[in-house]
Chains A and B, each alone.
Chain A
Amino acid sequence: MYAQMIKSTGEGVKSLDEMEPQERAFQERINAGGKIEPKDWMPDGYRKNLIRQIGQHAHSEIVGQLPEGNWITRAPTLERKAILLAKVQDEAGHGLYLYCAAETLGVTRDQLTRDLLSGKMKYSSIFNYPTLTWADMGAVGWLVDGAAIMNQVPLQRTSYGPYARAMVRICKEESFHQRQGYDIMMKMAKGTKAQKKMAQDALNRFWGPALMMFGPSDENSVHSAQSMAWKIKMNSNDELRQKFVDECVPQAEYLGLTVPDPDLKWNEERGHYDFTQPDWDEFFDVLRGNGPCNKERLAARNKAWDDGAWVRDGLMAHAAKKRAAKLAAE
Chain B
Amino acid sequence: MSDNLFEFLCRMGDNTLVLGHRVSEWCGHAPVLEEDIALANTALDLIGQTTLWLDLAGEVEGAGRDADKLAFHRDVWGFRNLLLVEQPNGDFGQTMMRQFLFDAWHLSQLNALMDSSNTQIAAIAEKSAKEVTYHLERATETVIGLGDGTEESHNRMQAALDKLWPYVGEMFTLDDVDAAMVDAGIAPDPASLRPAYDALLDDVFAAATLTKPQDDFGHQGGKSGKRHSEHLGHMLAQMQWLQRAYPDATW
Chain-A contact segment, one of B74-82, B109-117, B126-134, B144-152? B144-152
Given contacts A92-B36, A313-B153, A318-B148, contact A307 B238 (CB under 8 A): no
Contact, CB under 8 Å: A72 / B249 = no
Select B33's contact among A80, A96, A194, A318, beta carbons within 8 Å. A96
Q: Which residues of A contact B144 (CB under 8 A)?
A: 318
Q: Which of A65, A314, A317 contacts B27 (CB 8 A)?
A: A65
Residues of B with C-beta under 8 A to A254:
none
Interface-facing stretch out of B47-55, B183-191, B211-219: B47-55
Which residues of B lie under 8 Å from residue A77 when comparing CB positions? 68, 72, 243, 251
- Restricting to B207-243, which residues have a CB under 8 Å from any CB of A? 238-239, 241-243
Cβ A317 vs Cβ B29 within 8 A? no
- A76 to chain B minimum Cβ distance, whole angstroms, is 4
Indicate if A62 sits at the interface (CB-CB under 8 A).
Answer: yes
Report the Cα distance A73→B43, complex, angstroms.
11
Given contacts A73-B239, A89-B44, A96-B37, contact A310 B28 (CB under 8 A): no
Q: Which residue of A lies closest to B29 (CB)?
A: A304
> Which single residue of chain B is at the shortest CB-CB distance from A91?
B28
Chain A 76-110 interface 0/1 with B at a Cβ cutoff of 8 Å (1 = within) = 11111110011011001101100100000000010
Q: B31: CB under 8 A from chain A?
A: yes
Residues of B contacting A95 in the complex (Cβ-Cβ under 8 angstroms): 33
Question: What is the size, in residues, of chain A's interface with B at 8 Å between Cβ atoms?
Answer: 50
Distance between Cα atoms of A67 and B40 in the complex (Å): 16
Q: What is the chain B residue whose CB lies nearest that of A305?
A: B31
Pairwise interchain contact A85-B40, C-beta atoms closer than 8 A: yes
Nearest chain A CB to B132's CB is how many angstroms away? 17
Chain B residue, CB-CB nearest to A95: B33
Q: Which residues of A contact B142 (CB under 8 A)?
A: 315
With both beta carbons as reference points, the residue of chain A lying nearest to B242 in the complex is identified as A76
B29 — which chain A residues lie within 8 A by C-beta?
Answer: 69, 300, 303-304, 307
Q: Is the CB of A315 within 8 A of B145?
A: yes
CA distance A134 to B108 in the complex (A): 38
Q: Residues of A contacting B21 with CB < 8 Å? A: 73
Which of B43, B71, B249 makes the CB contact (< 8 A) with A191?
B249
Q: Is B2 interfacial (CB 8 A cutoff)?
A: no
When C-beta atoms are compared, the residue in chain A nearest to B153 turns out to be A314
Known contacts A65-B36, A321-B148: A73-B24 contact under CB 8 Å? yes
Q: 7 A-B pairs, CB-CB below 8 angstroms?
A: A62-B33, A73-B239, A79-B51, A82-B51, A85-B24, A93-B37, A308-B35
In the assembled complex, the Cα of A86 lies from the Cα of B45 at a distance in Å of 10
B27 touches A311 (CB 8 A): no
Given contacts A76-B243, A92-B33, 14 further A-B contacts (CB under 8 A): A72-B25, A74-B238, A77-B68, A78-B17, A78-B50, A79-B51, A85-B44, A184-B251, A304-B28, A308-B92, A311-B146, A313-B152, A314-B150, A315-B142
User: Contacts A65-B27, A312-B31; is A76 near B153 (CB within 8 Å)?
Assistant: no
Question: Is A16 interfacial (CB-CB < 8 Å)?
Answer: no
Main secondary structure of the interface of A (DSSP, over half): helix
Q: Is B65 on the interface with A (CB-CB < 8 A)?
A: no
With the chains together, A94 CA to B24 CA distance in Å?
19
Query: What residues on A are CB-neighbors of B68 within 8 Å?
Result: 77-79
Within the complex, the shortest CB–CB distance from A100 to chain B, in Å, comes to: 11
Chain A 291-330, CB-CB to B under 8 Å as 1, else 0, gives 0000000001001110111111111111101000000000
Using a CB–CB cutoff of 8 Å, the interface residues on chain A facing chain B are 62, 65-66, 69, 72-82, 85-86, 88-89, 92-93, 95-96, 99, 109, 134, 184, 187, 191-192, 194-195, 300, 303-305, 307-319, 321
CB pair B47 A78 closer than 8 Å: yes
The one of A65, A187, A307, A313 in contact with B28, judged by C-beta atoms closer than 8 angstroms, is A65
Interface residue? B91 (CB, 8 A): yes
Q: Is B176 an interface residue (CB 8 A)?
A: no
Which has the most chain A C-beta neighbours within 10 Å: B25, B28, B71, B72?
B28
Chain B residues in 8 Å Cβ range of A96: 33-34, 37
What residues of B have a CB within 8 angstroms of the CB of A76 in the complex?
A: 72, 242-243, 249, 251
* Chain A residues whose C-beta falls within 8 Å of the C-beta of B30 in the assembled complex: 304, 308
List, in ascending order, chain B residues with CB within 8 A of A312's CB: 31-32
Query: Please, which residues of chain B bring their CB within 8 A of the CB of A317?
Result: 149-150, 153
Contact between chains at A307 and B31 (CB < 8 Å): yes
A192–B245 alpha-carbon span in the complex (Å): 13
State in angstroms the CA–CA spacing of A81 and B44 once bound together: 8
Please determine whether B246 and A194 come into contact, CB atoms closer than 8 angstroms: yes
Contact B251 A80 (CB under 8 A): yes
Note all chain B residues with C-beta closer than 8 A to A72: 24-25, 27
Could you say which residues of chain A place their CB within 8 Å of the CB of B58?
none
**Chain A positions within 8 Å of B153 at CB level:** 310-311, 313-315, 317
Given the interface pairs A82-B44, A88-B27, the reply to whether A195 lies near B249 with Cβ below 8 Å is yes
A211 to B148 CA separation, bound complex (whole angstroms):
50
Verify A73–B33 contact, CB threshold 8 A.
Answer: no
Contacts of B37 in A (CB 8 A): 89, 92-93, 96
B194 on the interface (CB 8 Å rule)?
no
The complex places the Cα of A318 from the Cα of B239 at a distance, in Å, of 37
Q: A74-B242, A76-B242 are in contact. Are A308 and B31 (CB under 8 A)?
A: yes
Contact indicator A66/B28 (Cβ below 8 Å): yes
A65 to B, closest residue via Cβ: B28
Interface string of B5-35 (1 = CB under 8 A from A): 0000000000001000100110111111111
